[in-house]
Amino acid sequence: MIHYYDYWSRSRSNLVILDLVRLTLLGLFQIIKIIMFKKNLQREINTFPINPMVLSKLAIVDLRFLNDFDDYTPLRLSSEANITEADAQEVLSILFPKGKSSAPTEKRALDLLFEEQETSGIVTFCESLDTMLGDGIPLGKITEICGAPGLGKTQLCLQLAVAIQIPVDIGGLDGEAVYIDTEGSFIVERLVDIATATVDHCQLIHMQGGGELGSIDISVERILAGIHYFHCLDHTEFLACVHQLHTFLSQHQKVKLIIVDSIACPFRHEFSDMSLRTKLLSMLGQTFIKIASQNSVAVVFTNQMTTKIPAVPSNQSSQLIPALGEGWAHISNIKIMLYWDNNQRRAMLCKSPNQKELICSFQITNGGIRDVTATANTDCPLSNIAHVDSKNSTASTSTATENLLKSGPTPPAKRQKVS
Amino acid sequence: MKLSDLDLDSKMIMALKKAQIVEAKQILYFSNTELQHLTNISSDNILKLKEKVAERYIHQRCYNALNIYQKEVPLQLQHWKLSTACRTIDSILRGGILSGVLTEITGGSGCGKTQLCLQLCISVQFNKERAGGAVFICTENAFPSKRLQQMIQHYGQFLPGQNLGDKIFVEHVVDFDTLEFCVKKKLPTLINRGLIQLVVLDSITALFRCQYDSSQLLNRAKHLIEFASTLRQLAHQNSIIVVCVNQVSANMNKIGLQDSDVVPALGLTWSNQMTCRILLSRFTYHEEYTDDSGQAMTRRKLKVIFAPHLRQSELDIQISDSGIQGIKPQFLNT
């Protein structure tokens, strides 16, 4: 007993030593763990597109992870793994791609900001909608438009397909559009309406800027010829179509906008296997994200709405949510919800990386999507929200014609630049 | 499509079969890496394979909008319009009912839905571009043959020597299975013979309303979507007019669709499948608006709720011997 007593009552120096030993042991253990894990965290080489025959030969000599190849030359690899030197060369070039490295090229955030400022978005011809989105529909991002039938999803798509083709002279993007139609609601007659109105509008702006009538390179025929139309009947055809999109884009460099109207339609029937649907949708999402960022094209999806029935029957009433579920909801960068309010079409920005949540109203005229005029605005208290942004507080008091002029594309020169 | 239709070399087919891929479309369901894992085919060959499958599944090559506008495209992509046999109604419909898509005519009972359908059945035989017969699928009550005869008498004088009734095929359907059989088997036969250009389904609501109770809403939604897509494909592939009649139900919660007292039945699921929607409605005036005989006048309206090529608009209509007619706005003394 006394011995123990002695032990505990001794000066603290002994305890400190004990502590040190314990810490060292723990540290060693951690280091071992890190080493073990590092091996596990490395990417397995069978996830790379390597010829299976070669792969099996590599497995025999226990080369399974990416970091196993760190100090291999093609010559050494070919002799050790018993493969031809050409194969070894190919394997190494797949594993360690040169030029375009597997990691995205490094860019400073400032450069990205400059880049983003230089590329303007696609105007919607409704100023409050453009303001809500920051600067129209941005290129290189995925935008989703959801809404019940009859709210103007297709109209907005047609408008965008026309607006992308406004010449650079008056601040447009001079691009072309790919229109993937799954519902069969692409009516060329309506497109002609919108195109005609847009051409007139562009001529007007051009003449105000001192240009001569007819000297601007825009016409209805040109606009129509710049819209490439695909029609898909079911999801298999849609997948096939998306698969070919890559080749199509390399052949048509001018395409800056891809519209899918609607994404929901092919995926809402003939699906008994829900896990397949989820998988296909996420695969599609990834493909579109890749297409959007690599070619810097804007991708616009329309989505149907569906009623969410509460799981437990309760007082909570059912609500409207976009179709295709939670997994799909993550794909889009920007999400716009369209709805009716007091006989007024409204758009709400639900998700955006750089804008705050806003609501704005718009109307559909013969010429396409336009701002709501002042007189129609007064009876709606909510409309004030749309004009919170101080820059556009005057928008609600302008007349229809002024609006029409204003809603034209903003020349890039007007944009403020960060120096 | 089977794998054997793809004309691949036998080695590749073996590899695919080993990975339990029997149908060509399954190839598109996998990502490149996944396929490589499953089949041990090299990455280059997989790219070629996918390209091949994708080509086979695309039924139309890409056209631009100008091609469509100038009608240089296959028939499926060209839309034609079926006149309603009344110029005023045609003018707000920009020429009539659109082909290749689903059009819905909805409205309360006694608003003239069936009348309009009968009128379409007759007018399709007068169409200049695509004259043909019509199929009238009846689910609600007996086919109104008396009324049809009345209309035929009126229109028959414009097309002497032909009996307009001969080209209207009437089908009575009482349950969903018969309807499905009719749409999937009987209709294609008739269409292939080039006999019909118009399909009227009067009404879709009755079957779906009575065969499902409220606990089976999810099943109903699924069924509705399936059925609508069958109809849409039928309409698109043959470029014919498909008109569905829908009843209305009281508007309980005013969400999503436009505020009004009644909403078309079958909910959002069905609405999502429709391309055009036309609403017929009627109101009875108070005493101050009476006609000569002192009876309260009824005012009827035709309203375009949504359509990709039309603006929301409405028109006063009246029902006469010849069917539904629009009243030109300037003659309206209200």
Give residue A402's pLDDT.
41
* Distance of alpha carbon A259 from alpha carbon B177, whole angstroms: 37
Give A 87-146 residues with CB within 8 A of chain B.
none
**Per-residue pLDDT at A38:** 59
Contact B257 A264 (CB under 8 A): no
Give the single-character DSSP code of A137: B
Q: How far apart are CA B33 and CA B11, in angstroms?
A: 19
CB contact under 8 A, B259 and A343: yes
Q: How many CB atoms lie within 10 A of CB A22?
A: 10
Determine whether the interchain pair A228/B101 forms a contact, defined as Cβ–Cβ distance below 8 Å: no
Write down the residue that tokens 């505990």 correspond to. Answer: A8
Share of chain B above pLDDT 90, in %: 26
Q: Left if phi > 0, otherwise alpha if psi is -120 to 50, otherwise beta: which for A229? A: beta
Instruction: Give A340's strand partners.
Output: A345
- Are the Cβ atoms of A228 and B64 closer than 8 angstroms? yes
Q: Taking CB atoms and an 8 Å limit, are B57 and A237 in contact across chains?
A: yes
Taking CA–CA distances from B99, the nearest residue in chain A reads A184
What CA–CA distance (Å, rounded) separates B232 from B228? 6
Structure tokens at B100: 């290749």
State phi, psi for B178 to the nearest 5 degrees: -65, -40
Please report the residues numbered 295 through 314 in chain A whose beta carbons come closer than 8 angstroms to any beta carbon of chain B: 304-307, 309
Which long-range contacts does B311-320 make (Cβ < 8 Å, 24+ apart)? B311/A364, B311/A365, B311/A366, B312/A150, B313/B92, B314/B92, B315/B88, B315/B89, B315/B92, B317/B89, B317/B112, B317/B280, B319/B112, B319/B115
Do A188 and A196 contact (CB within 8 A), yes or no?
no
Place of tokens 């029409």: A404
For chain B, what is the mean pLDDT?
A: 84
> Residue type at B174?
V
Rg, chain B, Cα only: 24
Query: Quick one: pLDDT at residue B182?
Result: 92
pLDDT at A383: 31
Q: How far is B156 from chain A (nearest CA, A)?
A: 33
pLDDT of B38: 84
For testing contact with chain B, the best of A153, A186, A227, A236 (most B CBs within 10 A): A236
Closest CB to B32 among A49, A239, A339: A49
Contact B268 A269 (CB under 8 A): no
pLDDT value at residue A160? 94
The 3-state secondary structure of chain B reads: CEHHHHCCCHHHHHHHHHCCCCEHHHHHCCCHHHHHHHHCCCHHHHHHHHHHHHHHHCCCCCEEHHHHHCCCCCHHHCCCEECCCCHHHHHHCCCCEECCCEEEEEECCCCCHHHHHHHHHHHHHHCCCCCCEEEEEECCCCCCHHHHHHHHHHHHCCCCCCCHHHHEEEEECCCHHHHHHHHHHHHHHHHHCCCEEEEEEECHHHHHHHHCCHHHHHHHHHHHHHHHHHHHHHHHHHCCEEEEEECEEECCCCCCCCCCCEEECCHHHHHHHCCEEEEEEEEECCCCCECCCCCECEEEEEEEEECCCCCCEEEEEEEECCEEEECCHHHCCC
Dist CA A147 CA A264 (whole Å): 12
- A276/B258 Cβ within 8 A: no
Per-residue confidence (pLDDT) for residue A117, from 0 to 100:
76
For residues A276 and B29, the answer to whether their CB atoms sit within 8 Å is: yes
Q: Give pLDDT, residue A405.
A: 42
- Which residues 6+ apart lie within 8 Å of A375 measured at CB? none
Residue for token pair 């009550």: B141
Element (H, E) at A257: strand A255-261
Distance from CA of A391 to the nearest CA of B (A): 31
Q: How many CB pairs under 8 A join A and B?
A: 165
Task: Report d(CA A186, CA A266) in Å as an integer.
Answer: 16
* Closest CB to A148 among B40, B268, B312: B268
Q: Can you name the residues that pair with A305 across neighbouring β-strands?
A: A322
Q: What separation in angstroms does the CA of B278 have from each of A233, B44, B291, B314?
A: 25, 52, 28, 10
Structure tokens at A97: 């791609």
**Amino acid code (one letter) for B24:** A
**Cβ–Cβ under 8 Å, residues B298 and B315:** no
Nearest CA in chain B to A158: B308
C-beta atoms of A233 and B59 within 8 A: yes
> Is omega for the bond preceding A79 within 30 degrees of 0, making it cis?
no
- Does B215 contact chain A (CB < 8 Å)? no
Contact A300, A310 (CB under 8 A): no
Cβ atoms < 10 Å from Cβ of A83: 21
- Asked if B2 is an interface residue toward chain A (Cβ–Cβ < 8 A), one would say no
**CA–CA distance, B215 with B222 (Å, rounded to integer):** 14
> Is B306 close to A305, i.e. CB distance below 8 A?
no
Q: Report helix, strand and coil shares of chain A as percent, to nearest 5.
A: 50, 15, 35
Backbone angles phi, psi at A90, to 5 degrees: -65, -45
User: What is the pLDDT tens value at each position of chain A, 419 positions in all?
Assistant: 445 555 555 556 666 777 888 888 888 888 777 666 655 557 777 777 777 778 888 888 888 777 777 778 888 888 888 888 888 888 888 787 764 444 556 778 888 788 777 778 899 899 999 989 888 899 989 999 999 988 999 999 999 999 999 988 888 888 999 999 998 889 999 999 999 999 999 888 888 887 776 677 888 999 999 999 999 888 899 999 999 998 999 999 999 999 999 899 888 877 778 888 999 999 999 999 999 988 889 999 999 988 877 766 655 666 788 988 888 889 999 999 999 888 889 999 999 988 888 999 999 998 889 998 755 443 333 333 333 333 333 333 333 334 434 444 443 333 343 43
Query: Which residue ranges of chain B lie beneath pLDDT 50?
Result: 256-259, 331-334
A345 strand-pairing partners: A340, A362
- On whether any CB of chain B is under 8 Å from the CB of A241, the answer is yes
Q: Which residues in A lie closer than 8 A to residue B77 (C-beta atoms)?
A: 229, 231
- Cβ atoms B200, B120 nearer than 8 A: yes
B6 and A CB contact within 8 Å:
no
From chain B, the residues in CB contact with A46 under 8 A are 37
Please indicate whether, in this complex, the C-beta atoms of A150 and B28 are within 8 angstroms of each other.
no
pLDDT tens digits for range B230-279: 999 899 989 999 999 999 887 765 554 444 667 888 888 889 899 999 99
Q: Is residue A180 helix, strand or coil?
A: strand
Mutation site, A239, A242, A246, A252, interface B, largest B CB count within 10 A: A239
Contact yes or no for A233 and B306 at CB 8 A:
no
Edge-to-edge strand list for the sheet holding B168-172:
B168-172, B133-138, B196-202, B241-246, B102-107, B276-284, B298-306, B313-320, B323-326
Smallest CA–CA distance, residue B275 to chain A, in Å, is: 6
Q: Are A308 and A321 in contact (CB under 8 A)?
A: yes
CB atoms within 10 A of CB B211: 13
The CA radius of gyration of chain A, in Å to the nearest whole number, is 29
Q: What H or E segment, with its residue span, contains residue A215?
A: none
What size, in residues, is chain A? Answer: 419
d(C-alpha A127, C-alpha A362), whole Å? 9
Among the partner-chain residues B31, B58, B258, the one whose CB lies closest to the CB of A343 is: B258
DSSP-assigned beta bridge partners for residue A154: none
- Are A187 and B308 in contact (CB < 8 Å)? yes
Taking CA atoms, what residue in B is nearest to A319?
B255
CA-wise closest residue to A334 among A128, A157, A120, A146: A146
Residue type, B12: M
Q: Using DSSP bridges, classify how beta strands B241-246 and B63-64 pair: parallel, antiparallel or unpaired.
A: unpaired
Q: Which amino acid is at B245?
A: V
- pTM equals 0.80
Which helix (H) or strand (E) segment holds residue A161: the answer is helix A153-163
Inspect the interface and report whether the beta carbons of B268 and A307 lie closer than 8 Å.
yes
Among A334, A345, A260, A271, smallest CA distance to A304 is for A260
Q: Is residue B323 within 8 Å of B119, Cβ to Cβ?
A: yes
